[in-house]
Amino acid sequence: MSDSSSSTPTPAPHQRRPRYRGRNPRRFEEKYKEHDPQRYAETVAKVLASGKTPAGTHRPIMVAEILEVLAPQPGQVAADCTLGYGGHAQAMLARLQPGGKLLGLDTDPIELPKTEARVRALGFGPEIFSAHRSNFAGLRQILAAAELTGADVILADLGVSSMQIDDPARGFSVKLAGPLDMRMNPQRGQPSSAFLGKISSDKLATLLVENADEPHAAVLAPALAGKVFATTTALAAAIRAALPRLNQEDGGLAIRRVFQALRIAVNDEFSALDTFLRNLPACLNPGGRVAILTFHSGEDRRVKKAFAGGLHDGLYAEIAHEVIRPTAEERNSNPRSAPAKLRWARRAA
């Protein structure tokens, strides 16, 4: 028996060549230069000029109009019930100084710490700004825990943020493939895929009409109810397949409406809004003001009715009788602002 080990050199252990990662980054966080706005200021400016929102950010809507109706003053207490990226909060914080404070609420545990860090980095310490991971239905409890009897200024900018929509992993995007989730707080409730997999056709038809005024609900409901779609794009494809006569644009609108209806359902958005509206007068100091930005008729109807009821009952001294809309300039420069409607109310003194 020969021993070849002494005569032949030991081969070097095989090392896998690092896998070629491609010229384009794959992960959302790596994909856009806008995630590093300081380094890529020029890219961010170009994205803004094209009417788009830089990835990982949110452009606050109707800031001037909101500041005008809320009129935050130095020393006052404000609650931003939908903190998001913190754009409205920053504008209000500047007006509340010196001596004022702002409580920022958001149900999203992923974006909230990032926003808190961003606002802190601007120099707003804990005595001026506090961030609360909470549904705005719980505003009353948040105020009580902060030993406040009420707020002078309250803002709610309903719906989802651009950070949530643009991150495919959150499952809100109709264009980018991601898990069919759509929860603003992924630690609670069930993802849209599970919700759709269990719902009956009759219930889904009702929900599509109530949550999104869907004209094709009778056709879509039996095609989608009880089916399991793992990804956003699989659901979008099934909606198009169920409505083969629709052109590209109308098919796209149907997809958006179905996504909206599911998002409202899995996040229980209407019941949170109803609770918030019911508790609002008790959360406002005498003479305090509230402004609410809505993005579809189901939200606006509720706000309009609650404000009118509060005026009738003497809880509000004054309310907006007409909605305020974004200017044509804002709609052009930020198309996501287009459906926005602003209503306000002032608590009786």
Ligand X SMILES: C[S@@+](CC[C@H](N)C(=O)[O-])C[C@H]1O[C@@H](n2cnc3c(N)ncnc32)[C@H](O)[C@@H]1O
Task: Give residues in contact with ligand X (CB under 6 A).
Answer: 58, 60, 82, 84-88, 105-108, 111, 135-136, 157, 159-161, 184, 272
CB of 18 to ligand X, least distance (A): 38
Measured from the CB atom, the residue of 35 and 240 that comes closer to ligand X is 35
Measured from the CB atom, the residue of 91 and 225 that comes closer to ligand X is 91
Measured from the CB atom, the residue of 225 and 273 that comes closer to ligand X is 273
Backbone φ, ψ for residue 28 (5° rounding): -55, -45
Q: Which two tokens stand for residue 177?
A: 């493939």
Q: Which two tokens stand for residue 72?
A: 């935050």
For residues 205 and 217, is the Cβ–Cβ distance under 8 A? Answer: yes
CB of 71 to ligand X, least distance (A): 18
Distance of alpha carbon 52 from the chain centroid = 16
**Strand, coil or helix: 324:** strand
Cβ-proximal residues to 116 (8 Å cutoff; 6+ apart), any chain: 104, 131
Q: How many CB atoms lie within 10 A of CB 149?
A: 11
d(CA 223, CA 241): 9
Residue of 66, 64, 153 whose CA lies nearest to 104: 153
d(CA 87, CA 102): 13
Measured from the CB atom, the residue of 186 and 222 that comes closer to ligand X is 186
Measured from the CB atom, the residue of 161 and 225 that comes closer to ligand X is 161
Measured from the CB atom, the residue of 85 and 307 that comes closer to ligand X is 85
CB of 200 to ligand X, least distance (A): 26
Q: Which helix (H) or strand (E) holds 130?
A: strand 129-133
CB of 323 to ligand X, least distance (A): 17
d(CA 83, CA 155): 9
What residue is closest to ligand X based on CB? 84
Residue of 60, 162, 145 whose CA lies nearest to 103: 145
CB of 14 to ligand X, least distance (A): 49
d(CA 320, CA 342): 9
For residues 129 and 121, is the Cβ–Cβ distance under 8 A? Answer: no
Measured from the CB atom, the residue of 129 and 229 that comes closer to ligand X is 129
CB of 324 to ligand X, least distance (A): 16
Q: How many CB atoms lie within 10 A of CB 122?
A: 11
Residue with tokens 């309310």: 319
CB of 242 to ligand X, least distance (A): 29
Measured from the CB atom, the residue of 116 and 157 that comes closer to ligand X is 157
CB of 302 to ligand X, least distance (A): 13
CB of 181 to ligand X, least distance (A): 13
Cβ-proximal residues to 137 (8 Å cutoff; 6+ apart), any chain: 271, 272, 275, 276, 279
Measured from the CB atom, the residue of 151 and 220 that comes closer to ligand X is 151
